Structure 1
Amino acid sequence: AAVRAALRGLQFGGDPGDPAVDTEWGEPGLTPAERVIAWNTLEVLAYRTGNPDHPINAIAPSAKATMHLRFVVGTDVSDVRQVVQRHLAAHGFADIEVGEPMVMHATRLDPDNAWVRFVLASIERSIGSAPVLLPNLGGSLPNDVFADILGLPTVWVPHSYAACSQHAPDEHLLLPVVREALQLMTGLFWDLGEPDAAALPRRGH
């Protein structure tokens, strides 16, 4: 309930040059924001079959696909490889081998956690407007090292904008974004030294 409340009213896209949001994509009954942030997605990153340099008019003897499962808290991924392998075998594809190179476990700090409220309030005081709260990231980060292994409440405060070309050769950051980031982070670090911060829990999520 807290996750849906945090995502209520959140819109993706709409700016000039943004691609149109496909309202039919993803799990039925969810908003586009819920589908991206609060639901599992399976993406095909790349696939290979045959030899494009020497194509032949025949079915290739082998093929390989690399897929990416983005999953949220509450999804049991302890045996996801075996589940997929059994599913394929049950539908006549027992000769397909499923590998699992790496798993980064999903994390989410409760949107009602005291640390979340503290950070949101600090940012609003610093920049004069309420920040947008995403209950978890839509991508993959090894945040479970902090949240699960060390047991620390974690709040990510990203500084960027939608057209930053992230991970591309021309990845960049605009000066107004940098100024705002310096302003709100200075305020946040200041507030962390105030007496109110000392009462916040140091463990648990």
Structure 2
Amino acid sequence: MEDFERQMQFVFQLRSRGVTNSDVLKAMEATKREPFVEGIFQDRSFEDTPLPISCGQTISQPTVVGLMTQALEVTHRCKVLEIGTGSGYQAAILSHLARRVYSVERHQRLARTARELLMRLGRHNITVVHGDGSLGLPEQAPFDRILLTAAAEDPPRTLTDQLRMGGIMVLPVGQSHSIQTLIKITRSESGLDYTELGSVRFVPLVEGVAHDVLD
């Protein structure tokens, strides 16, 4: 009963902070955060705060995850590209909403761990790729939706080029280690239309793949 009450409080917290789309709320309710959080931080999985994970990365604040997912306007026909798999939490939520999710992670350890966890959780419409997220995934393009969970100084042209006409990209934009702005980009016949969604803080988007020491 305690976990049920915490989950209800979790959903109420999301709603009160602007995550109002019912499909997004259902997807987040169905995706418990605890399996994606490590060690001593698992007890804090219901908190609306970012938490550390391996490789010096973080699992994002649930409210920010919800607001980004809501802005992406994912439908069950969408093929989604996520840049920055991290723990796999965001990809798992997207998998409840989309037809197919491709997620690129530059840290091999994170990619492997997320892939194994998502398989155990039965999220079979997610493909986790170890690679350079700044390049996107051109062999699977175009995408209906693209989501970046790392901040770029400007929207990368390599990624906007992989966005289908009418598609939507959501990403944080700004200088590393400072407050960034969450941006929604819609690709139209006239070009790229930009909407600012608010201030956020994310790790920077880094080119290349990381050279992790694997267990």
**Structure 2 length as normaliser, TM-score?**
0.27
Larger Rg: 1
* Higher-strand-fraction structure: 2
**Structure 1 length as normaliser, TM-score?**
0.28
